[in-house]
């Protein structure tokens, strides 16, 4: 009788049994994932645009999607959403790279202060170079940008210090940075704010070693301010919109980026007990889907794809099966009745004026 290690491996170790044969919806590529969350677990998110889906679904499923920078409750929910409050756990916008992540952390704690401070646009509006799209129509002054940045970074610190779980979606390896101090911008200057100047900015495409180094610094510094935090890494399946890698085709550049990020995530998972990898990338792009989890542009992820990711996440992280998953009512924030109270007061003054009103109409 043959004897070899493969005989004792579970079904998930075999392609035919766990990828080729099952129905699409039954494919579950989760490997080792031993983190458990419950509805009280504070789960903060950051990352590239795919991370927004995770945040949204967590909330819908009744879990504690942790948002520290919610925007003032006097603002309507609609305006807060449009002004990017609550999209992520703090109002940092998309964080595409690990370099951006470690720099955000260090900016929040004052250990890295970029030389580049504010972008002043031709219409006089001001943008934060490190959050260029977060404030629609920009800030009205550098002072206002500074004030908002201060309160934002305070929220970032609070988030890092108090969250139970931090989910980071790795998106890109390519970035543009300042030649002066290495500050990394979420978007190439000139794309959404700022002015491109090749003397000031340079392109860089990270290697596995660099991504691992960034993540190592980040998690070790994070654990110094939050010693019990657990970290989930996941790789965004969304391909690059464009590559600035000289001579590269965007498809190859995408494969490179995602490979680097996937390798780095695995290295980190193996190195630290508190780092977990969740296979969002594999769930969406795995060949078993025949591409059905991508929208027509072959970049956007369909809702079915996102649902598959989140169904498996909740199955493994919270032991919730699909049939147990009821879409809970969106946890409405407790309605701030301040406006209603003031409106009542204002109406009372209108009553007083009305009582004083002698004529029902008057002509001259």
Partner 1 sequence: MKKRKIFIIGDSHTAAIKKALQDFKSTEFEIDVHWLYSNKNGTEKGNLPLDVAIEKVKNLAEDDFLVISILGTYHNIFGLLQHQLKFDVMTKNNNDINQCTIIIPYRTVEAEFDARCLKNKNISLMAQNTVAKTILLMTPPPKEDNIFIESKIKNLQGKLFLGIGINDSKLRLSLYEIEKESVRKFCGKNGMEFVGAPDSCINNRGYLLKEYWADDAQHANKAYGMKLLEQLEFLL
What is the contact surface with partner 1 in residues (CB under 8 A)? 71-76, 78-79, 82-83, 135-141, 143-144, 147-148, 151, 337-339, 341-354, 356-364
Strands 165-170 and 174-178, bridge-based pairing: unpaired
Min. distance of Cβ 77 from partner 1 in angstroms? 11
Q: Which is nearer to partner 1, 144 or 220 (CB)?
A: 144
Strand partners, 168: 46, 233
Q: Which is nearer to partner 1, 76 or 331 (CB)?
A: 76
HSE-up (13 A, CA, CB side) for residue 136: 7
Min. distance of Cβ 357 from partner 1 in angstroms? 5
User: What span, in angstroms and rounded, lies between the C-alpha atoms of 58 and 273?
Assistant: 23
User: What span, in angstroms and rounded, lies between the C-alpha atoms of 219 and 228?
Assistant: 11
Beta strands in 179-219 (DSSP E): 184-185, 201-205
Min. distance of Cβ 225 from partner 1 in angstroms? 23
**DSSP state, 70?**
-
Q: Which is nearer to partner 1, 26 or 358 (CB)?
A: 358
Residue (of 290, 331, 289) closest to 308 by Cα position = 289
| Residues 145 and 128 sit within 8 Å (Cβ to Cβ) | yes
Min. distance of Cβ 137 from partner 1 in angstroms? 5
Q: Which is nearer to partner 1, 224 or 362 (CB)?
A: 362
User: What span, in angstroms and rounded, lies between the C-alpha atoms of 225 and 239?
Assistant: 34
Which residues have C-beta within 8 Å of that of residue 60, sequence separation ≥ 6? 327, 328, 330
Q: Which is nearer to partner 1, 142 or 191 (CB)?
A: 142
> Please, what's the b/e burial string for 75-105 (b: 16 or more CB within 10 A of its CB; e: otherwise)?
beeeebeebbbbbbbbbbbbbbbbbbbbbbb
**Token digits of residue 254:** 């995408």
Q: Which is nearer to partner 1, 83 or 204 (CB)?
A: 83
Q: Which is nearer to partner 1, 25 or 137 (CB)?
A: 137
Q: Which is nearer to partner 1, 73 or 190 (CB)?
A: 73
Min. distance of Cβ 337 from partner 1 in angstroms? 8
Min. distance of Cβ 71 from partner 1 in angstroms? 8
Which residues have C-beta within 8 Å of that of residue 45, sequence separation ≥ 6? 51, 52, 54, 55, 58, 65, 88, 89, 166, 167, 168, 169
| Residues 276 and 231 sit within 8 Å (Cβ to Cβ) | yes
Min. distance of Cβ 146 from partner 1 in angstroms? 10
Min. distance of Cβ 131 from partner 1 in angstroms? 12
């Amino acid at each position: 009788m043959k004897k070899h290690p493969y005989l004792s491996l579970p079904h998930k170790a075999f392609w035919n049994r766990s990828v080729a044969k099952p129905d699409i919806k039954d494919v579950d590529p989760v490997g080792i994932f031993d983190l458990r969350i419950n509805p009280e677990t504070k789960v903060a998110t950051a990352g590239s645009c795919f991370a927004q889906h995770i945040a949204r679904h967590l909330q819908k499923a009744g879990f504690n999607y942790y948002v520290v920078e919610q925007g003032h409750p006097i603002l309507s929910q609609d305006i807060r959403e449009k002004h990017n409050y609550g999209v992520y756990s703090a109002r940092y916008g998309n964080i595409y790279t690990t370099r951006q992540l470690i720099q955000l952390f260090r900016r929040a704690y004052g250990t890295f202060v970029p030389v580049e401070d504010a972008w002043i646009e031709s219409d006089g509006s001001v943008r934060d170079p490190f959050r260029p799209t977060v404030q629609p129509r920009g800030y009205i002054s550098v002072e206002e940008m500074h004030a908002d940045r201060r309160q934002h970074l305070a929220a970032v610190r609070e988030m890092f210090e108090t969250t139970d779980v931090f989910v980071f979606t790795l998106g890109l390896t390519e970035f543009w940075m300042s030649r002066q101090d290495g500050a990394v911008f979420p978007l190439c200057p000139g794309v959404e704010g700022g002015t491109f100047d090749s003397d000031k900015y340079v392109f860089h495409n990270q290697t596995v070693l660099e991504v691992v180094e960034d993540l190592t610094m980040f998690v070790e510094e994070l654990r110094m301010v939050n010693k019990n935090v657990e970290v989930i890494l996941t790789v965004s399946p969304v391909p690059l919109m464009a590559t600035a890698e000289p001579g590269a085709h965007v498809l190859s550049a995408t494969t490179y980026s995602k490979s680097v990020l996937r390798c780095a995530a695995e290295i980190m998972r193996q190195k630290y007990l508190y780092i977990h990898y969740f296979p969002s990338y594999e769930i969406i792009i795995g060949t078993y889907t025949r591409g059905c989890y991508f929208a027509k542009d072959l970049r956007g992820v369909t809702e079915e794809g996102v649902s598959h990711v989140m169904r498996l996440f909740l199955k493994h992280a919270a032991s919730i099966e699909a049939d147990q998953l009821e879409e809970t009512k969106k946890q409405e924030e407790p309605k701030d009745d301040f406006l209603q109270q003031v409106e009542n007061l204002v109406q009372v003054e209108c009553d007083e004026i009305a009582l004083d009103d002698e004529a029902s109409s008057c002509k001259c």
